[in-house]
């Protein structure tokens, strides 16, 4: 299945969770036919570094029993009957390496459900399995399927041992009682059972199409080739998933917080960008109207230098005048964990300190800030880069521990 064969716009976003090298991208490739690691360093190292994405259409054979009836093909691979289209889905493939946890959290903001990928080789949970499970719980991701991957290269005894490890390892997390599907992503084995589980356990959520459209920006691009004739240049492209409303060609679009008014000045105010929708794409398919759900690309009239190399990631796009307020200061009601997750040592999470630097995730945005005031469970943070965020929205908190930023807690916006 290739992206340009999708019969419809994807309507649900499914993320991947799990430790590095568990085979998340391989499973996505076995479903979609697309390797999500498109960047040179990802191709060299064989791991996901940036947020990856791919789409697929799910079909059902009217003659075969479940789960064999589910496929991504228009013709059933078992009985050769013509299959019936069910729905299109988007995969958001997140990195599993501990140093990229803040990148993973950016993608998780758009999950409607998730596939937690366990490696049958290793004892479950590995370090980043724990960290991703905790993140899923914080982000309130409740629709989760567990895949027991690499089942083809372990013994039956090890497979059953790993199965028990998974059941015990997810107790008390968002994945407790989730279905466990043994698969081989490398060989595409049991993928029909995984598709069946996706259809059964990750339904399309209800979207409010009556509200003004809004889209957290997950990726942004310059699609022009080097040396392109200036008269043939195309505007910058932003990618993400519409969380509410619908968007159509020629709609005006506001992007906030936008850019600093005084470039290079860390204390500068920010100003929104305004543009117009020129084209909407799902894979290689053009759309006149895009609805909430699924990943899309929006071509605008913006200078492509603004969108190249993910330059607008973390902004929110929407109908002008309807976006959340842009805040340079945040007041959070917060909660810290007892222990630092994702490292071998047992380290207590220490209280927040005045003047401490933290990293914050909200929607698809990542920013840092310095603590100005703290009392009990309330903290005031001055941000280095502003956030466009509503009251009562969730913010994930990370602290520098050792060589990396570690997830230590979360909070709710209560003011600025």
Q: The domain spanning residue 166 has which CATH number?
A: 3.40.50.300
Please provide residue 68's backbone torsions phi and psi, each rounded to the nearest 5 degrees: -60, -20
Both 341 and 383 in one domain: the answer is: yes
How many domains does the chain divide into? 3
Q: How many CB atoms lie within 10 A of CB 70?
A: 24
pLDDT at res. 41 = 37
Residue 209 lies in a domain: no
Ramachandran category for residue 342: left, alpha or beta (phi over 0 → left; psi -120 to 50 → alpha): left
Residue 46 lies in a domain: yes
* CA dist., res. 169 & res. 159, Å (int): 15
* CA dist., res. 374 & res. 351, Å (int): 10
Residue 207 lies in a domain: no
Asked if omega into 257 is within 30° of 0 (cis), the reply is yes
115-144 core/surface letters (b: 16 or more CB in 10 A; e: else): bbbbbbebebbbebbbbbbbbbbbbebebb
Last residue of a domain, one of 163, 178, 201: 201
Both 193 and 69 in one domain: the answer is: yes
Nearest-10 crossing angle of helices 24-32, 191-201: 90
Both 172 and 91 in one domain: the answer is: yes
Contact criterion met (CB below 8 Å) for 386 and 413? no
Residue 302 lies in a domain: yes
* CA dist., res. 74 & res. 68, Å (int): 14
pLDDT at res. 265 = 81
Both 91 and 24 in one domain: the answer is: yes
**Strands, E, within 105-231: which ranges?**
113-119, 144-149, 180-182, 214-221
Which secondary-structure segment (H or E) carries 156? helix 156-169
Geometric angle at alpha carbon 161, from 202 and 188, rounded to 5°: 50
CA distances from 241 to 38, 92, 102, 186 (A): 19, 10, 19, 29
Both 334 and 275 in one domain: the answer is: no
pLDDT at res. 99 = 47
Expressed as residue numbers, the domain containing 175 is 3-201
Both 313 and 330 in one domain: the answer is: no
Both 156 and 236 in one domain: the answer is: no
Both 312 and 330 in one domain: the answer is: no
Query: Which candidate, 84, 86, 105, places its Cα nearest to that of 94?
Result: 105
199-210 core/surface letters (b: 16 or more CB in 10 A; e: else): beebeeeebeee
SS3 state of residue 34: coil
Query: Which candidate, 242, 294, 250, places its Cα nearest to that of 12?
Result: 294
Last residue of a domain, one of 201, 230, 252: 201
Residue 206 lies in a domain: no
Both 263 and 351 in one domain: the answer is: no
How do the pLDDT tens digits run along the chain, 416 residues long? 444 468 889 999 999 988 877 888 899 999 999 887 554 333 333 433 478 889 999 999 999 999 999 999 999 999 999 999 999 999 988 764 554 567 667 777 788 999 999 999 999 999 888 888 988 888 889 999 999 999 999 999 999 999 999 999 999 999 999 999 999 999 999 999 999 999 999 999 999 999 999 999 999 999 999 988 988 999 999 999 999 999 999 999 999 999 999 887 878 899 999 999 999 998 778 999 999 999 999 999 999 999 999 999 999 999 999 999 999 999 999 999 998 877 778 889 999 999 999 999 998 899 999 999 999 899 999 999 999 999 999 999 999 988 788 889 999 999 87
CA distances from 35 to 2, 54, 81, 347, 386 (A): 11, 8, 28, 37, 34
Partnered with residue 281 across adjacent β-strands are 286, 297
Last residue of a domain, one of 148, 167, 201: 201
Instruction: Specify the CATH number for the domain of residue 408.
Output: 2.40.30.10
Burial group, residue 1, by CB count within 10 angstroms (0-12, 13-18, 19+): buried
pLDDT at res. 37 = 59
Both 377 and 330 in one domain: the answer is: yes
Both 171 and 300 in one domain: the answer is: no
* CA dist., res. 290 & res. 293, Å (int): 9
Geometric angle at alpha carbon 159, from 156 and 163, rounded to 5°: 140
Both 149 and 127 in one domain: the answer is: yes
Residue 381 lies in a domain: yes
Residue 170 lies in a domain: yes
CA dihedral 169, 183, 140, 297 (to 10 degrees): 150
Residue 208 lies in a domain: no
pLDDT at res. 100 = 53
Looking at the whole model, is its pTM more than 0.85? Answer: yes
364-392 core/surface letters (b: 16 or more CB in 10 A; e: else): bbbbbbebeebeeeebbbebebbbbbeee
* CA dist., res. 388 & res. 397, Å (int): 17
């Amino acid at each position: 299945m290739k992206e340009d064969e999708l019969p419809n716009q994807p309507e649900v976003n499914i993320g991947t969770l799990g430790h590095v090298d568990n085979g998340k991208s391989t499973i996505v490739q076995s479903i979609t036919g697309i390797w999500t690691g498109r960047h040179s360093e990802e191709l060299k190292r064989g791991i996901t570094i940036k947020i990856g994405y791919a789409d697929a259409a799910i079909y059902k054979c009217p003659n075969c029993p479940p789960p064999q009836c589910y496929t991504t093909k228009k013709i059933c691979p078992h009985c050769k009957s013509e299959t019936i289209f069910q729905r299109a889905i988007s995969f958001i493939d997140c990195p599993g390496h501990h140093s990229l946890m803040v990148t993973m959290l950016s993608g998780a903001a758009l999950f409607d459900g998730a596939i937690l990928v366990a490696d049958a080789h290793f004892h479950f949970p590995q370090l980043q399995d724990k960290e991703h499970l905790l993140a899923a719980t914080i982000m309130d991701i409740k629709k989760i399927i567990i895949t027991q991957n690499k089942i083809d290269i372990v013994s039956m005894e090890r497979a059953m041992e790993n199965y028990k490890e998974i059941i015990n390892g997810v107790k008390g997390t968002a994945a407790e009682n989730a279905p466990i599907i043994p698969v081989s992503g490398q060989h595409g084995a049991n993928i029909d059972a995984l598709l069946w589980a996706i259809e059964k356990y990750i339904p399309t959520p209800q979207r409010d199409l009556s509200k003004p459209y809004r889209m957290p920006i997950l990726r942004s691009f310059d699609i022009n080739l080097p040396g392109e004739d200036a008269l043939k240049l195309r505007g910058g492209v932003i990618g993400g998933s519409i969380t509410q409303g619908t968007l159509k060609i020629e709609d005006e679009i506001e992007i906030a917080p936008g850019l600093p008014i005084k470039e290079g000045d860390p204390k500068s105010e920010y100003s929104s960008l305004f543009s117009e929708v020129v084209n909407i794409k799902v894979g290689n398919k053009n759309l006149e109207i895009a609805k909430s759900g699924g990943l899309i690309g929006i071509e605008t009239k913006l200078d492509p230098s603004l969108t190249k190399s993910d330059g607008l990631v973390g902004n929110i796009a929407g109908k002008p005048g309807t976006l959340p307020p842009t805040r340079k200061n945040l007041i959070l009601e917060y909660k810290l964990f007892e222990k630092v997750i994702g490292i071998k040592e047992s380290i207590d999470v220490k209280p927040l300190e005045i003047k401490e630097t933290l990293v914050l995730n909200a929607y698809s945005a990542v920013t840092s800030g310095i603590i100005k005031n703290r009392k009990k469970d309330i903290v005031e943070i001055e941000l280095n880069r502003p956030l466009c965020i509503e009251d009562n929205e969730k913010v994930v908190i990370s602290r520098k521990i050792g060589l990396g930023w570690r997830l230590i807690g979360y909070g709710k916006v209560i003011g600025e």
